Structure 1
Amino acid sequence: MSLAYFALIVSIVSASALEIAGASLGAQLGSIAAALGLLAAASSSRKADYEHYVRATSWGRWILVAIPLCIAAQLAPLPLRVAHPIWVSAHEVIGGLSLGPITVDIGLTVNALLLALAAISLLGVAIVVVRNRGRAELVLFVLSGVTAISALMLDLHRLSPALAVSVPHDLTTSLAGLGLMLNLAVMQLAAERAETHHSIVRSVAIGLCGLVGALVSAAAIFGLSGTNSAMAAAFGVVLILLILVIRRLDLSPLAASALSVAALIGAAIVLTFLFEKNSGPILLRLVPEMGTETKAALERMLADTRWFGAGAGTFSAVGRIYQSDAGAVLTAPSAATSVFAGMGWVGLVAMIAVSLLALVRLFVGALQRGRDSFFPAAAAACVLFALVQSFAGPGLLHPAAILCLSVILGLGLSQSVSQSGSR
Structure 2
Amino acid sequence: MSLAYFALIVSIVSASALEIAGAKFGAQLGTMTAALSLLAATQSARKADYEHYARATSWGRWILMAIPICIAAQLVPLPLSLAHPIWASAHDVLGGLSLGPITADIGLTVSALLLAVAAVSALGVTILVVRDRGRAELVLFVLAGIAAVSALTLDLHRLSPAGAQAAATSELATTLAGFGLVLNLAVMQLAAERAETHHSLLRSIVLGLLSLVGALISALAIFGLSGTNSAVAASFGVALILLILVIRRLDLSPLAAGALALAALIGATIVLTFLFEKSSGPVLLRLVPELGAETKAALERMLADTRWFGAGAGTFAALGRIYQSDIGSNLTAPSAATAVFAEMGWLGLAALIAASLIALVRLVFGALQRGRDSFFPASAAACLLFALVQSFAGPGLLRPAAILCLSVIVGLGLSQSVSQSGSR
**2:164 paired with 1:189:** no
Shift of 1:38: 0.2
Please say if residues 82 and 309 of structure 2, whose CA atoms lie closer than 8 Å, have aligned partners that are also in contact: no
Please say if residues 153 and 164 of structure 1, whose CA atoms lie closer than 8 Å, have aligned partners that are also in contact: no
Aligned residue in 1 for 2:125: 125
| CA distance in structure 2 between the aligned counterparts of 1:91 and 1:280, rounded to whole angstroms | 31
Shift of 1:83: 3.1
Please say if residues 22 and 165 of structure 2, whose CA atoms lie closer than 8 Å, have aligned partners that are also in contact: no
Q: Which amino acid aligns with 2:376?
A: F
| CA distance in structure 2 between the aligned counterparts of 1:399 and 1:285, rounded to whole angstroms | 25
Q: How many residues align?
A: 421
Aligned residue in 2 for 1:155: 155
Shift of 1:86: 4.0
Please show how residues 35-54 of structure 1 align to structure 2 within 5 Å.
35-54=35-54
Aligned residue in 2 for 1:267: 268
Q: Residues 162, 340 of structure 1: CA spacing in aligned structure 2 closer, same or farther, 3 A cutoff?
A: closer
Shift of 1:351: 1.5
Shift of 1:360: 0.5
Shift of 1:80: 2.5
Aligned residue in 2 for 1:401: 402
| CA distance in structure 2 between the aligned counterparts of 1:147 and 1:235, rounded to whole angstroms | 18
Post-superposition Cα deviations, 1:266-302, rounded to whole Å, max 9, x if no partner, equal 0000000010111111100000011111111111111
Shift of 1:348: 1.3
Q: Which amino acid aligns with 1:329?
A: N
Please say if residues 367 and 417 of structure 2, whose CA atoms lie closer than 8 Å, have aligned partners that are also in contact: yes
Q: Name the SS for the 1:329 alignment partner.
A: coil
Q: Which amino acid aligns with 1:47?
A: K
Shift of 1:91: 4.2
Q: Name the SS for the 2:311 alignment partner.
A: coil
Please say if residues 300 and 322 of structure 1, whose CA atoms lie closer than 8 Å, have aligned partners that are also in contact: yes
Post-superposition Cα deviations, 1:54-82, rounded to whole Å, max 9, x if no partner, equal 00000010001111111111110012222
Aligned residue in 1 for 2:172: 171
Post-superposition Cα deviations, 1:305-327, rounded to whole Å, max 9, x if no partner, equal 11111111111111111101000
Structure 2 length-normalised TM: 0.97
Shift of 1:420: 1.0
Q: Name the SS for the 2:372 alignment partner.
A: coil
Q: Residues 294, 357 of structure 1: CA spacing in aligned structure 2 closer, same or farther, 3 A cutoff?
A: same
Please say if residues 84 and 309 of structure 2, whose CA atoms lie closer than 8 Å, have aligned partners that are also in contact: no
Unmatched segments (≥5 aa) in structure 2: none
**2:231 paired with 1:226:** no
Please say if residues 297 and 324 of structure 1, whose CA atoms lie closer than 8 Å, have aligned partners that are also in contact: yes
Shift of 1:97: 3.3
Aligned residue in 2 for 1:2: 2
| CA distance in structure 2 between the aligned counterparts of 1:194 and 1:287, rounded to whole angstroms | 43
Shift of 1:88: 3.6
Aligned residue in 2 for 1:69: 69
**2:212 paired with 1:215:** no
44-53 or 100-109, larger mean C-alpha shift: 100-109
| CA distance in structure 2 between the aligned counterparts of 1:293 and 1:89, rounded to whole angstroms | 24
| CA distance in structure 1 between the aligned counterparts of 2:86 and 2:341, rounded to whole angstroms | 18
Aligned residue in 2 for 1:256: 257
Shift of 1:250: 0.2
| CA distance in structure 2 between the aligned counterparts of 1:93 and 1:36, rounded to whole angstroms | 47
| CA distance in structure 2 between the aligned counterparts of 1:240 and 1:375, rounded to whole angstroms | 10
Aligned residue in 1 for 2:239: 238
Aligned residue in 2 for 1:339: 340
| CA distance in structure 2 between the aligned counterparts of 1:169 and 1:244, rounded to whole angstroms | 31
Please say if residues 77 and 101 of structure 1, whose CA atoms lie closer than 8 Å, have aligned partners that are also in contact: yes
293-302 or 93-102, larger mean C-alpha shift: 93-102
Please say if residues 86 and 104 of structure 1, whose CA atoms lie closer than 8 Å, have aligned partners that are also in contact: no
